[in-house]
A and B are shown apart, each in its own frame.
Chain A
Amino acid sequence: MTERVLALALLAAAGIYVANALPLPLGTAARPGPGFFPLAVGVFGVSVALAWVIIAFRRVPAVTGPDIPAGGHGRVLATTASLAGFCLVLPWTGYPIVAFLFVGALLRRLGADWTGAAVIGLASAAVSYYLFGVLLGVPLPRGIWLD
């Protein structure tokens, strides 16, 4: 199932890539333009992705799925959602708050108790902010209320 979804997604992506490569100036064989290499890559990509789709759909799928422990899918989804949440919320809340929430919530979801999650969340947010924001001078977002 994963293989078929990924193969189809890659074929679609390769198609979009070629569609966007076509309007670029192709140039001549002796003077290739900026569209020449992308078009070659795109055609190669579409052919390989198409071959993968055909193979993936011809192959008889395994009767039993891969051995994933109970709750495995939930933990992977929660981790991915936390990462996406971090990216979405960062400009609004600022780094220290989102780092605390990210570490705390994810630790709690992965099995830590409330106190442990809160303490590690607070400590890691403070240490990483000091390390990157202060010592290395990275302008980490401070949130809409501090800017």
Chain B
Amino acid sequence: MLNIAGAVLGYGDRPVLRIPAFDLPDAGHVLVTGPSGCGKTTLLFALAGLVPAQAGRIAVDGTDLATLDEAARDRFRGRRVGLVFQALRLVRSLSVLDNLLLVADLTGRRRDRAAALAALERLGIADKRDARPETLSQGQAQRAAIARALLHRPALILADEPTSALDDAAAAGAAALLREVAAETGAMLVVATHDARIAPGFERVLRLDAG
């Protein structure tokens, strides 16, 4: 699923993270931890094709991202990757249901309304389908974002600090939910966090060191 070899990641000419070698199987879940500024988010962005590697190779689901231009990486992300952010969750001008169908709109795929409604049902927020994002609680918005990330059945789910704004119970619930839905869809789940509360339950932990 994931194959990283000799990768140097960063912004512009400034390297942030070096990963000599790292491989992950086709499914499962891994927690990426480390102190602030160690490059957790940069790694996720690189896996999503948002930040090109300065050197080395990053292959996701058999595709070497370095061989794709920016537009191709965008399309690849839309098809094969699901992203969940800590605070950046839903588009404000769209209802919850339309937020779920957004990936289909952006990638030119058929809008599967029934699947979107089923996903909302599965995550316990079916009654919020027509609600505006600003009317949701943090937990509800996070669930909606998770539902959107899963709707197109991506091979890779990337979650950046998905629980840092949640209380203990909600954080544990969100982490468990991510693992459950990843398992249901057969996706590899990579969660980057400094939130030690959610470490239990993850099959693998990748610890990044500062510098």
- Do they bind each other? no
